[in-house]
Structure 1
Amino acid sequence: MKVHFLTENALEALRTNLRGNLRHYADGTNDWIYDYFGADNPFLEFKLDFPSFQLNFNENDDTGTIDIKNAIILYSAMKSLTDTEATDERLWAGMCHYDFWDFLQVRYKVNNPRELIESNIKTRYFFAHGKRRSLFTNPLAKLWWCGRLTYDETRSDPFELTKYVDKYFSSASVPLFSNNYMANKQITVGLLSALKHLEENGYDMTHRKQKLLEATKYLNVLGGTYILDYFTSEEIEEKVIKYMKSLKGASFSTTSVQNEPLTIT
């Protein structure tokens, strides 16, 4: 399967003239793009071939759950991308405007030009923020990077942590992944492993997003003292578990868990 990226000139032209083209983002096809550029083809084939895959969206499903399913599908197929290639706006904007135009139309129920908001289209089809944050606001880049940072080949199911993220994905994917230190996969795996371990052992995760933000805040503070990149995922996991247990008001569903030894096996 071939995917397509936008040329640099085409990307800038579409971004610059977004307001004038806004109504077309409700079109059923992307034919308007070819009409807009005339004889100049705005798309080029990406150099790599990928296994064929399809992204799906069912409006009756939980958004976070279906996004995680699609993250697994997309990352499994496009795992051969390098991190450098996967930070290139031209690739994700190209795929949004070409290969997955139909998917985005269904994903965001875009069918009435009057409902279109320029800032929303900029976020969905381009990089609307700084590069790091945009990787987790662009809907396709977000799927790939979620897979990249949570895939753990040491587990019997390498996507075990990816599936765990669906508990946070709808409301907390941006604060979770857009921190600079979360670009280190070992840190992400360590953090999620800690939260999963705590939850499975009775830690009260009723306010899940709040607990996640508390854990990421702790890593930010820890990063002011230590170079987090030097820690293994196991060390990050142990530090997060210890910190979360120390919080005032931390509670467990069983008393036996409170006395559980900290050492992770």
Structure 2
Amino acid sequence: MKIHFLKQNSLEALRFNIPSNIKHYKDSSNQWIYDYFVDENPFGEYKIEVEDFELINMDNPSKTDLTNSIIIYSAMKNISDTQATDERLWAGLFHSDEWKFLCKRWDKYDNMKPSEIYSRYFFGQDKKRSLFTNSLSRLWWVARLTYDSERKDPFELTKYFERNFSTKLLVIFSNNYMANINVTRGLITALKYIESEFSNICFSRELYYEATKYLNILGGTYILDYFSSDEIKEKIISYIINHTELIK
């Protein structure tokens, strides 16, 4: 299937005029966007084709985040990391191909503020953080950084986010080093092990903070790129067990 992006001028116009267009973000159709730009098509067609996909909607969106993450990454694995950091792609998908998905996802919010539209439909913060707060790009990026083709189930690490998806995502991916796939895989493998072996700290925010804090310290002494995912895993497990009070 073909997907669409917002042309740069169109992106800037929609972003700048969110306050005056905010009522349209409850519309069931995105026809208002075409009307807004009159005779100019605000969208461009991506040269790369992706597999057909349809994201799932439920009354409680958090229950479908993991499934949708796997769906969108499976369909769009062939786009590059550079393309996947482009606001025009995700804002374009929101305002075109995935308009109905976003309307359904946010339909219970009757009085969305401009800042919420900015954050959910565009990149409302710096690029790195926006990748994990934007409603669509975060689904792709979680799977991108956890997908491991060498495992029997390539999405085994992705499924770590099945519970507490948003909390885990924002805490774990808020650090610069998480762009390194070996670090990401090592961290999540370590967290999975610790949570399975020590039930008293299962899904503890303190665990995430301690593990990521340790990686920051480690990264200040060593170049993390030189470590394998197994080495990262073992270092984190050893640190949590021997140098924190989380495990009693």
Q: Per the shorter chain, which TM-score range?
A: over 0.9
**Match of 1:262?**
none
1:220 to 195, 216, 219: 216
**Match of 1:260?**
none
SS of the equivalent of 1:52 reads: coil
Distance 1:110 1:46, change over 3 A: farther
Tell me, yes or no, if structure 1 residue 241 matches structure 2 residue 233.
no
**Match of 2:192?**
196
2:177 to 164, 177, 181: 181
Of structures 1 and 2, the larger Rg is shown by: 1
- For residues 178 and 158 of structure 1, the distance between their equivalents in structure 2, rounded to whole angstroms, comes to 23
Distance 1:168 1:144, change over 3 A: same
Counterpart residue type for residue 141 of structure 2: W
Following superposition, the deviation at residue 110 of structure 1 comes to 5.2
SS of the equivalent of 1:57 reads: coil
**Match of 2:70?**
72
Question: How many percent of aligned residue pairs carry the same amino acid?
Answer: 52
Q: Which runs of 5+ in 1 are unaligned?
A: 253-265
Contact 1:68/1:163, CA 8 A, preserved across alignment: yes
**Match of 1:263?**
none
Contact 1:68/1:166, CA 8 A, preserved across alignment: yes
1:107 to 99, 105, 109: 105
**Match of 1:129?**
125
**Match of 1:142?**
138
CA RMSD, 1 decimal? 1.5
Q: Which runs of 5+ in 2 are unaligned?
A: none
Counterpart residue type for residue 39 of structure 2: A
How many aligned residue pairs are there?
248
Matching of residues 249-260 of structure 1 within 5 Å: 249-251=245-247
Counterpart residue type for residue 80 of structure 2: T
Contact 1:5/1:92, CA 8 A, preserved across alignment: yes
Residue by residue, what CA displacement relative to the aligned partner does 1:45-100 show, whole Å, maximum 9, x if unpaired? 11111111100121257x1x410110000000000010000000000000011111
**Match of 2:49?**
49
- For residues 244 and 229 of structure 2, the distance between their equivalents in structure 1, rounded to whole angstroms, comes to 25
SS of the equivalent of 1:224 reads: helix
Q: Which range moves more in the overlay, 132-141 or 101-110?
A: 101-110
- For residues 178 and 29 of structure 1, the distance between their equivalents in structure 2, rounded to whole angstroms, comes to 34
SS of the equivalent of 2:80 reads: coil
- For residues 206 and 79 of structure 1, the distance between their equivalents in structure 2, rounded to whole angstroms, comes to 31
Contact 1:27/1:111, CA 8 A, preserved across alignment: no
Following superposition, the deviation at residue 176 of structure 1 comes to 1.3
Runs of 4+, deviation exceeding 4 Å = none
- For residues 246 and 203 of structure 1, the distance between their equivalents in structure 2, rounded to whole angstroms, comes to 17
